[in-house]
Amino acid sequence: MRTPIVAGNWKMNLGMDEAVQLAQDIADGAPENGVKLIVAPVSVHLASVTEALATSPVLLSSQNMHWADSGAYTGEVSGPMLRELAVRYVILGHSERRQYFGESDEEINRKVLSALDQELRPIVCFGESLSDREAKRTEAKVEFQVRAALAGLSAEQAQKVILAYEPIWAIGTGKTASPQQAQQVHRFLRGVLKERFDVETAQTVPILYGGSVKPHNFDTLITQDDIDGGLVGGASLKADSFLELARIAGNI
């Protein structure tokens, strides 16, 4: 059995005080129902949020990292720096980073390998555009992205990865993939993992769904066999809705 996960990607939102308050409210209200809760604030808030979460089981993620440990990479943050702040996860390959910052599949793969070296668990994002879906290229696209992101990994390393299927057309649009659409892609990806690694890896790797996840649509998504949780943007910015998602994930 895979542990349900609800991860909040706060993106470039919230002031410092708001971020700390949200972390505290989530820590205070976190249900003890076996659901793993992860929050990902902006890098400059990680140190304060880690303090706010110190005595809670809520885990901390970064939204990005560089592949090098240190060096002349102005504006970047490295894995060892994240580790110093008790960060355990790192979101990699989000479509916003691919789209606005030109991140390539190769770069994402380098980051995945570096994160694993630093004992950070990568949350690897991928997903098709609306034109990919309309041209029936969804499976080809997600298979390509996942194989590229996981290139060079052993099965043992792959089992540390969390995958997050985020159809681009569903992010921030209010248009969620239907539970059937999402399940179909998640099931397909387990087949890809089985072919690329082995049955154990295919059964172990959590696959989250992301894209307009809200309390009113989450129960029908999370109850699908191959959907192990949510990577949540907008609904993770309020403690009430994030905690409601945590409770829903615990009811399955």
CA–CA gap between residue 238 and residue 67 (Å, rounded): 31
Among the candidate windows 64-72, 108-116, 200-208, 225-233, which touches ligand 13P by CB under 6 A?
Answer: 225-233
Contact with ligand 13P (CB under 6 A) among 127, 206, 211, 229? 211
Residue type, 43: S
| Run of H or E including 247 | helix 239-250
Q: Are 248 and 218 in contact (CB under 8 A)?
A: yes
Among candidate residues 94, 103, 128, 186, the one labeled active-site is 94
* Interface size with ligand 13P, residues (CB under 6 A): 14
166 near ligand 13P, judged by CB under 6 A: yes
122 near ligand 13P, judged by CB under 6 A: no
Among candidate residues 128, 143, 166, 244, the one labeled active-site is 166
CA–CA gap between residue 45 and residue 111 (Å, rounded): 21
216 near ligand 13P, judged by CB under 6 A: no
C-alpha angle 161-164-165 in degrees, rounded to nearest 5? 140
Q: Are 2 and 204 in contact (CB under 8 A)?
A: yes
DSSP state at residue 152: T
Q: Quick check: is 94 catalytic?
A: yes
Contact with ligand 13P (CB under 6 A) among 213, 221, 243, 246? 213
Q: Quick check: is 186 catalytic?
A: no
Residues counted in the chain: 252
Residue 22 or 202: the one with the smaller Cβ distance to ligand 13P is 22
Query: Binding marks (x or -) toward ligand 13P, 85..104, rule CB under 6 A?
Result: ---------x----------
Residue 132 or 166: the one with the smaller Cβ distance to ligand 13P is 166
CB of 211 to ligand 13P, least distance (A): 5
232 near ligand 13P, judged by CB under 6 A: yes
172 near ligand 13P, judged by CB under 6 A: yes
CB atoms within 10 A of CB 64: 20
Among the candidate windows 46-54, 126-134, 142-150, 206-214, which touches ligand 13P by CB under 6 A?
Answer: 206-214
CA–CA gap between residue 60 and residue 103 (Å, rounded): 23
C-alpha angle 2-170-143 in degrees, rounded to nearest 5? 60
Helix (H, G, I), strand (E, B) or coil at 45: helix
Instruction: Please identify every residue annotated as catalytic.
Output: 94, 166
* Sites of contact with ligand 13P (CB under 6 A): 9, 94, 166, 171-172, 210-213, 231-235
